Amino acid sequence: MKAHRHKIWIFLFGAAVSLVSPRIVLSQTAPGSEKPAAQNSPADGQHDFDFEIGTWKIHLKKLVHPLTGSTTWVEFDGTSATRKAWEGRADVEEFETDGAAGHIEGMTVRLYNPQSHQWSLYWANAKDGTFLTPLIGGFKDGRGEFYDQEFYEGKSIYNRFIWSEITPNSAHFEQSFSTDGGKTWETNWITDQTRVKP
Protein backbone atom coordinates (compact mmCIF):
# COMPACT_ATOMS: atom_id res chain seq x y z
CA MET A 1 0.00 0.00 0.00
CA LYS A 2 2.72 2.35 1.00
CA ALA A 3 4.63 1.42 -2.04
CA HIS A 4 2.13 3.28 -4.09
CA ARG A 5 3.58 6.66 -3.52
CA HIS A 6 4.81 8.53 -6.41
CA LYS A 7 5.95 11.88 -7.32
CA ILE A 8 5.82 13.99 -10.31
CA TRP A 9 7.75 17.07 -10.93
CA ILE A 10 9.34 19.54 -13.19
CA PHE A 11 10.55 23.03 -13.14
CA LEU A 12 8.20 25.40 -14.82
CA PHE A 13 10.39 28.41 -14.73
CA GLY A 14 14.04 29.09 -14.71
CA ALA A 15 13.24 31.18 -11.70
CA ALA A 16 12.06 28.11 -9.92
CA VAL A 17 15.46 26.62 -10.34
CA SER A 18 17.07 29.50 -8.60
CA LEU A 19 14.56 29.15 -5.82
CA VAL A 20 15.58 25.60 -5.29
CA SER A 21 19.20 26.47 -4.97
CA PRO A 22 20.38 26.83 -1.42
CA ARG A 23 19.28 29.91 0.33
CA ILE A 24 21.29 30.99 3.24
CA VAL A 25 19.31 33.85 4.62
CA LEU A 26 17.88 33.04 7.99
CA SER A 27 14.64 34.68 8.79
CA GLN A 28 15.74 35.54 12.29
CA THR A 29 18.90 35.03 14.18
CA ALA A 30 18.21 36.74 17.43
CA PRO A 31 21.28 36.89 19.65
CA GLY A 32 21.14 34.21 22.27
CA SER A 33 18.59 32.33 20.28
CA GLU A 34 18.74 28.65 21.09
CA LYS A 35 17.84 27.70 17.57
CA PRO A 36 20.54 25.33 16.47
CA ALA A 37 22.38 26.64 13.47
CA ALA A 38 22.64 23.22 11.91
CA GLN A 39 18.87 23.00 11.97
CA ASN A 40 18.44 26.31 10.28
CA SER A 41 18.51 25.27 6.75
CA PRO A 42 17.98 27.82 4.05
CA ALA A 43 15.19 30.18 4.77
CA ASP A 44 12.37 30.58 2.36
CA GLY A 45 11.44 27.40 0.54
CA GLN A 46 7.84 28.28 -0.19
CA HIS A 47 8.41 28.29 -3.95
CA ASP A 48 10.38 25.05 -4.04
CA PHE A 49 7.49 23.13 -5.54
CA ASP A 50 6.49 25.74 -8.12
CA PHE A 51 8.22 23.65 -10.79
CA GLU A 52 5.62 20.95 -10.28
CA ILE A 53 2.62 23.11 -11.15
CA GLY A 54 1.05 21.97 -14.42
CA THR A 55 0.17 18.78 -16.27
CA TRP A 56 2.62 15.95 -16.85
CA LYS A 57 3.01 12.66 -18.62
CA ILE A 58 4.20 10.06 -16.12
CA HIS A 59 6.16 6.85 -16.45
CA LEU A 60 6.16 4.82 -13.25
CA LYS A 61 8.27 1.81 -12.31
CA LYS A 62 7.20 0.07 -9.15
CA LEU A 63 8.83 -2.76 -7.21
CA VAL A 64 6.09 -5.32 -6.66
CA HIS A 65 7.26 -6.70 -3.30
CA PRO A 66 9.42 -4.21 -1.39
CA LEU A 67 11.85 -5.44 1.27
CA THR A 68 11.66 -9.07 0.25
CA GLY A 69 14.76 -9.33 -1.91
CA SER A 70 12.53 -9.49 -4.98
CA THR A 71 13.57 -7.52 -8.05
CA THR A 72 10.32 -7.78 -9.97
CA TRP A 73 9.26 -4.40 -11.27
CA VAL A 74 6.04 -3.38 -13.01
CA GLU A 75 5.57 -0.33 -15.20
CA PHE A 76 2.74 2.13 -15.59
CA ASP A 77 1.99 5.14 -17.77
CA GLY A 78 -0.33 7.97 -17.00
CA THR A 79 -0.77 11.60 -16.17
CA SER A 80 -0.39 13.89 -13.24
CA ALA A 81 -1.74 17.38 -12.70
CA THR A 82 -0.66 19.71 -9.92
CA ARG A 83 -2.34 22.94 -8.96
CA LYS A 84 -1.21 25.60 -6.61
CA ALA A 85 -2.94 26.50 -3.36
CA TRP A 86 -2.18 29.36 -0.96
CA GLU A 87 -0.14 31.10 -3.66
CA GLY A 88 2.32 28.22 -3.79
CA ARG A 89 2.70 27.51 -0.09
CA ALA A 90 0.68 24.39 -0.78
CA ASP A 91 -0.29 22.34 -3.80
CA VAL A 92 -2.45 19.40 -4.77
CA GLU A 93 -1.39 16.77 -7.25
CA GLU A 94 -3.75 14.28 -8.86
CA PHE A 95 -2.05 11.19 -10.22
CA GLU A 96 -3.44 8.45 -12.45
CA THR A 97 -1.55 5.62 -14.12
CA ASP A 98 -2.31 2.29 -15.77
CA GLY A 99 -0.22 -0.77 -16.42
CA ALA A 100 -0.34 -4.53 -16.67
CA ALA A 101 -0.46 -4.64 -12.87
CA GLY A 102 -3.52 -2.42 -12.68
CA HIS A 103 -4.74 1.10 -12.20
CA ILE A 104 -3.41 3.59 -9.64
CA GLU A 105 -5.18 6.76 -8.63
CA GLY A 106 -3.42 8.88 -6.10
CA MET A 107 -3.25 12.32 -4.61
CA THR A 108 -0.47 14.29 -2.99
CA VAL A 109 -1.02 17.36 -0.87
CA ARG A 110 2.11 19.37 -0.07
CA LEU A 111 2.17 21.95 2.69
CA TYR A 112 4.92 24.44 3.43
CA ASN A 113 5.70 25.23 7.07
CA PRO A 114 7.02 28.82 7.17
CA GLN A 115 8.44 28.38 10.69
CA SER A 116 10.53 25.28 10.04
CA HIS A 117 10.99 25.97 6.29
CA GLN A 118 10.12 22.32 5.70
CA TRP A 119 7.54 20.75 3.42
CA SER A 120 5.16 17.98 4.46
CA LEU A 121 4.08 15.63 1.66
CA TYR A 122 0.84 13.73 2.20
CA TRP A 123 0.05 10.86 -0.16
CA ALA A 124 -3.27 9.09 -0.49
CA ASN A 125 -4.18 6.15 -2.72
CA ALA A 126 -7.79 6.15 -3.89
CA LYS A 127 -8.09 2.47 -3.03
CA ASP A 128 -7.45 3.33 0.63
CA GLY A 129 -9.03 6.78 0.69
CA THR A 130 -6.86 8.03 3.50
CA PHE A 131 -3.70 10.07 3.86
CA LEU A 132 -0.60 8.33 5.13
CA THR A 133 1.99 9.80 7.47
CA PRO A 134 3.57 12.85 5.82
CA LEU A 135 7.17 12.83 4.65
CA ILE A 136 8.97 15.97 5.79
CA GLY A 137 12.01 17.71 4.38
CA GLY A 138 13.21 20.28 1.90
CA PHE A 139 15.37 21.14 -1.10
CA LYS A 140 19.10 21.74 -1.19
CA ASP A 141 21.03 22.39 -4.37
CA GLY A 142 18.09 21.44 -6.54
CA ARG A 143 17.46 18.11 -4.82
CA GLY A 144 14.55 17.51 -2.48
CA GLU A 145 14.75 14.91 0.30
CA PHE A 146 11.79 14.02 2.50
CA TYR A 147 11.60 11.45 5.28
CA ASP A 148 9.25 9.81 7.69
CA GLN A 149 8.93 6.80 9.91
CA GLU A 150 6.05 4.56 9.05
CA PHE A 151 4.84 0.99 9.21
CA TYR A 152 5.22 -1.32 6.24
CA GLU A 153 3.54 -4.69 6.70
CA GLY A 154 3.55 -4.06 10.43
CA LYS A 155 7.23 -3.20 10.77
CA SER A 156 8.61 0.22 11.54
CA ILE A 157 10.77 1.56 8.69
CA TYR A 158 12.07 4.86 7.35
CA ASN A 159 10.63 6.09 4.08
CA ARG A 160 12.45 8.55 1.82
CA PHE A 161 11.29 10.61 -1.17
CA ILE A 162 13.86 12.17 -3.47
CA TRP A 163 13.10 14.78 -6.12
CA SER A 164 15.99 15.30 -8.52
CA GLU A 165 16.99 16.10 -12.09
CA ILE A 166 14.50 18.94 -12.16
CA THR A 167 14.37 20.89 -15.42
CA PRO A 168 11.56 23.11 -16.76
CA ASN A 169 10.05 20.13 -18.60
CA SER A 170 11.13 17.04 -16.70
CA ALA A 171 11.77 15.67 -13.23
CA HIS A 172 12.69 12.43 -11.50
CA PHE A 173 11.20 11.03 -8.33
CA GLU A 174 12.11 8.01 -6.18
CA GLN A 175 10.69 6.42 -3.07
CA SER A 176 12.93 4.15 -0.96
CA PHE A 177 12.53 2.20 2.26
CA SER A 178 15.17 1.54 4.92
CA THR A 179 14.98 -1.14 7.61
CA ASP A 180 18.32 -0.23 9.20
CA GLY A 181 17.85 3.37 10.26
CA GLY A 182 18.92 4.88 6.97
CA LYS A 183 22.20 2.97 6.45
CA THR A 184 20.84 1.27 3.33
CA TRP A 185 17.83 2.08 1.15
CA GLU A 186 15.82 -0.02 -1.28
CA THR A 187 14.13 2.02 -4.01
CA ASN A 188 10.64 0.77 -4.81
CA TRP A 189 8.91 3.55 -6.79
CA ILE A 190 10.46 5.58 -9.60
CA THR A 191 8.70 8.14 -11.75
CA ASP A 192 9.97 10.17 -14.65
CA GLN A 193 7.75 12.93 -15.87
CA THR A 194 7.55 15.10 -18.97
CA ARG A 195 5.58 18.31 -19.12
CA VAL A 196 2.42 18.34 -21.20
CA LYS A 197 1.02 21.74 -20.21
CA PRO A 198 2.13 24.58 -17.96
Residue 31 touches other proteins, criterion: CB under 8 A:
no
- CA–CA–CA angle 152, 116, 121 (5° rounding): 35
- Beta carbons within 8 Å of 118's beta carbon, 6+ residues apart: 45, 112, 136, 137, 138
Asked if 144 touches other proteins (CB under 8 A), the answer is: no
Locate the DSSP E strands across 21-168: 54-63, 73-85, 90-99, 102-113, 118-125, 130-131, 135-140, 143-152, 155-167
Region binding other proteins by CB under 8 A among candidate stretches 16-24, 42-50, 53-61, 109-117? 109-117
Helix (H) or strand (E) holding 192: strand 186-197
Q: Is 38 near other proteins (CB under 8 A)? A: yes
Out of 24, 25, 30, 37, which residue is the one contacting other proteins (CB under 8 A)? 37
Query: Does 32 contact other proteins by CB under 8 A?
Result: no
Tell whether residue 29 is a contact of other proteins (CB under 8 A).
no
CA angle centred on 57, ends 185 and 139, rounded to 5°: 45
Selected from 28, 129, 154, 197, the binder of other proteins by CB under 8 A is 154
Among 73, 88, 107, 118, binds other proteins (CB under 8 A): 118
185 by DSSP, 3-state: which? Answer: coil
Taking CB under 8 A as the binding criterion, the range among 75-83, 124-132, 140-148, 186-194 that sits at the site for other proteins is 140-148
Binding region for other proteins (CB under 8 A): 34-39, 41, 113, 115-118, 136-137, 145, 147-149, 151, 154-156, 158, 160, 178, 180-183
